[in-house]
């Protein structure tokens, strides 16, 4: 099973930049998209269907905002829209699909960059989502959580840790959440295979040269619960795929 997680920063914009042509290269069996900024009715889904993908969408109530989608060549056994947390579900942040004994969660974590109000919401969301995941693991131990976490975990995951120590996405409280999350039995699949530095998945659009200079952040993840450790085959980041300010992250595991 090959999985890609990719924040497109607007799927319609990405489709004008060759996203569908990239899908023709068969990059994965399952493509998890965050920040669609659209609902299914606003997008021409025919190209996805022609490539053999089933498509599932969970969009925000606010038009042109947030939203997640999954394109999969493997038909899921079950789909769950949201988590039952109303504030999160209104923003279309989590879509869940069951494949055999595994559940895949595609999540778009909130950003706190717009100010204190959203940073507070982000902390509340992290707390609620962690509780949801802990409860879910009691009934479904084999979980795959992918998405844009909007958190760079360690200094190795950001090009300028000193200069960003007070920046949302690298705040001590956010990094501590990641510490506790991983200590609770989740595996950072990319780091499982790649301990090396300077591997990022997002680059600021405010400064046009930073991507070429690789001054980025690793804020996109595919994590799995410990029982799936023996199924891990490979993980990767694809910085040369450019339909967004993010790039795809990849995981291959035995089904």
The strand pair at 143-148 and 220-225 is best described as antiparallel
What are the structure tokens assigned to 186, written together?
A: 């989740």
pLDDT at 208: 85
Q: Cα–Cα–Cα angle for 220, 169, 8, nearest 5°? A: 40
The parent domain of residue 30 ranges over 2-253
Question: For residue 166, what are the contacts with CB-CB under 8 A and spacing of at least 6?
Answer: none
- Asked if 65 contacts 91 with a C-beta cutoff of 8 angstroms, the reply is yes
**Residues with active-site annotation:** 148
Q: Which residues of the chain have pLDDT under 50?
A: none
pLDDT at 255: 81
In this structure, what CATH number is given to the domain that contains residue 110? Answer: 3.60.10.10
Give how many domains the chain has, as a whole number: 1
What are the structure tokens assigned to 252, written together?
A: 């291959």
Question: For residue 165, what are the contacts with CB-CB under 8 A and spacing of at least 6?
Answer: none
pLDDT at 141: 98
Integer-rounded Cα radius of gyration of the chain = 17
């Amino acid at each position: 099973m090959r999985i890609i997680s990719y924040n497109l920063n607007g799927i319609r914009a990405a489709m004008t930049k060759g996203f569908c042509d990239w899908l023709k290269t068969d990059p994965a069996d399952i493509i998890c998209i965050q920040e669609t900024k659209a609902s299914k009715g606003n997008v021409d889904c025919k190209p996805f269907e022609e490539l053999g993908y089933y498509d599932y969408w969970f969009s925000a109530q606010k038009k042109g905002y947030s939203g997640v989608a999954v394109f999969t060549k493997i038909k899921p056994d079950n789909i769950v829209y949201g988590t039952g947390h109303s504030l999160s579900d209104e923003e279309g942040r989590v879509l869940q699909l069951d494949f055999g004994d595994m559940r895949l969660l595609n999540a778009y974590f909130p950003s706190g960059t717009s100010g204190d109000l959203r940073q507070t919401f982000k902390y509340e969301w992290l707390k609620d989502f962690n509780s949801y995941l802990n409860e879910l693991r009691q009934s479904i131990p084999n979980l795959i959580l992918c998405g844009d976490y909007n958190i760079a975990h360690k200094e190795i995951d950001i090009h300028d840790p000193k200069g960003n120590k007070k920046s949302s996405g690298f705040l001590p409280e956010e990094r501590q959440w990641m510490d506790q999350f991983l200590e609770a039995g989740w595996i950072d699949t990319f780091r499982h295979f790649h301990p090396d530095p300077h591997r990022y998945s997002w680059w600021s659009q405010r400064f046009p040269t930073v991507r070429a200079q690789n001054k980025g952040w690793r804020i996109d993840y595919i994590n799995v619960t410990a029982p799936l450790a023996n199924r891990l085959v490979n993980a990767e980041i694809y910085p040369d795929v450019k339909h967004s300010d993010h790039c795809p992250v990849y995981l291959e595991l035995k089904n």
